């Protein structure tokens, strides 16, 4: 069982780089659905991901249908949208035999509306004050969701205690 963060046509390299860093730190696959709004050689992308790119399992998909073909169990696909009715904390993300996929939309327009309407039961949202902001930052949203998933999975495969050299504790 693997967790996946999937980005639909991401536009901003800094967001994707920050998400890649989160994926490296959480052993999460990063699925990028084309077209991308930047080159994967972009300096901002590399800077945001720091030196963790070699530790991220990045998978590229030509389009949304190509990505959907890789989803092993459609019931484990979650569409993250501020228009969803169900909060991201409500589903049960416990460990099972299937991968979990969390699909985030483009920074400016989100996920395609017809696609979301066809999959409303799979939509989840992060509560926010819509009177003050249009949307949370994409990289923050991905981190919020994946850490809830990992919390429910008892932080499977993640080290629970950071070990410092003894001389730094003095």
- Which residues participate in the annotated binding site for S-adenosyl-L-methionine? 80, 105, 126
Q: Cα angle vertex 80, ends 110, 117, to 5°?
A: 70
- Identify the bridge partners of residue 123 per DSSP, sorted by sequence position: 79
Is 15 within 8 Å of 138 (Cβ atoms)? yes
Q: Which residues are annotated as a binding site?
A: 80, 105, 126
- Identify the bridge partners of residue 89 per DSSP, sorted by sequence position: none
Is 109 within 8 Å of 133 (Cβ atoms)? no
Give which of 102, 85, 110, 104 is closest to 152, Cα–Cα. 102
């Amino acid at each position: 069982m693997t967790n996946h963060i999937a980005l639909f046509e991401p536009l901003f390299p800094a967001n994707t780089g920050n998400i890649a860093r989160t994926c490296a730190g959480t052993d999460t696959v990063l699925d990028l659905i084309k077209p991308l709004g930047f080159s994967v050689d972009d300096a901002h992308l590399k800077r945001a991901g720091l030196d963790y790119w070699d530790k991220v399992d990045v998978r590229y998909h030509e389009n949304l249908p190509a990505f959907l073909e890789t989803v092993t169990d459609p019931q484990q696909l979650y569409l993250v949208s501020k228009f969803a009715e169900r909060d991201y904390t409500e589903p049960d993300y416990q460990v099972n035999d299937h991968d979990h996929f969390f699909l985030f939309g483009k920074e400016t327009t989100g996920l395609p509306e017809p696609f979301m309407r066809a999959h409303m039961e799979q939509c989840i949202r992060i509560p926010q004050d819509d009177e003050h902001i249009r949307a949370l930052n994409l990289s923050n949203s991905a981190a919020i969701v994946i850490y809830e998933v990992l919390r429910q999975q008892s932080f499977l495969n993640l080290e629970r205690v950071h070990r410092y050299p003894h001389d730094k504790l003095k």
